[in-house]
Amino acid sequence: MVGIASISARFTGQAGLRVTFTYSPNPKFRELESNVRNQVTFFVAALAISALAGAPPKEQYVGPDLKDGKVLVRSVTILPINTMVKLWGTGLQGELEPGEAKQLKASLSDYAIKILTVKGCHVPEDPFTAVALDNAPAIASALTIVQAQYKSLESQLFHKPKLVREGRYGMGEIVAKLNPGHTTDTFLFMDAFGALTTASEKARRVVKGPANTAKEALYLNLTLVDASTGSVLYFAKTTTGGNFIKDPGHVEHSLEDSLRDFTCASHTTE
């Protein structure tokens, strides 16, 4: 997720799968592509290890400042979302095009706004559109740095998430440069990784037996960061089965699970 959601690339891995990694086009940040390639390798590998190890599909970690009410969240700004999609198959036929990754990104944004609003959060309009960033080079530059720092932090969050509950993670006050008007309390980072299977691959695996049944799932890492201090307030990682392209409801379920233990300060229950 390095950069400002600005690089489009394809990365072909092993076992006949292709990863589609999408960002909004912006040639100013193409030099970051080599870094993105390395970070994609981590994210895919981490998810694969998690799946093989039988990690719990739904995990939420609340930081002490949020849990104890020292930090009150009333507004959440969604940062540019990183989406990757891989297609299991024996050949190139039927592989995903970037459109599916963009569709996943749009679904995540729409459902995140919906769910956060229900939880009493104010979600400002996207301040990180291509047009907005072109008109605010200082914010664009800060966003590049923040997302690079987050990618490094994310690996730690993924492997040692319980330290969030001890308040051990933070990004520093660089994040405040994304919020010059103090219009938001927190920033929301999302990394989504989707696995789908071609029809021919599904048929091939069925023939090989139940143990080889093809899996389709959406993996989501979600982090809430204090917009002033950079402290990590909340982290969640979830796995939701199903074809999230044909049925976007799987995206909504994934976000609902991820935000299960989070509520904005202005939220009231009847």
- 103-132 confidence digits (pLDDT tens): 999 999 999 999 999 999 999 999 999 999
User: The tokens of 165 are what?
Assistant: 């509950």
Q: Are 62 and 261 within 8 A, CB to CB?
A: yes
Give the mean pLDDT of 34-61. 51
| pLDDT for residue 41 is more than 60 | no
The mean pLDDT of the chain is 78
Residue 7: the pLDDT is: 33
> What is the gyration radius of the CA atoms in the chain, in angstroms?
18
CA distance 100 to 111: 16
CA distance 176 to 230: 8
Q: Are 155 and 47 within 8 A, CB to CB?
A: no
Q: Nearest-CA neighbor of 28 among 47, 5, 9?
A: 5
Q: Are 254 and 238 within 8 A, CB to CB?
A: yes
| pLDDT for residue 45 is more than 90 | no
Give pTM, 2 decimals.
Answer: 0.76
| pLDDT for residue 82 is more than 50 | yes
- Biggest alpha carbon distance in the chain? 59
At 57, the pLDDT band (50, 70, 90 cuts) reads: low
Residue 91: the pLDDT is: 52
CA distance 166 to 83: 29
Give the mean pLDDT of 184-207. 81
Bridge partner list, 196: 87
How far the first Cα of the chain sits from its last, in Å, is: 39
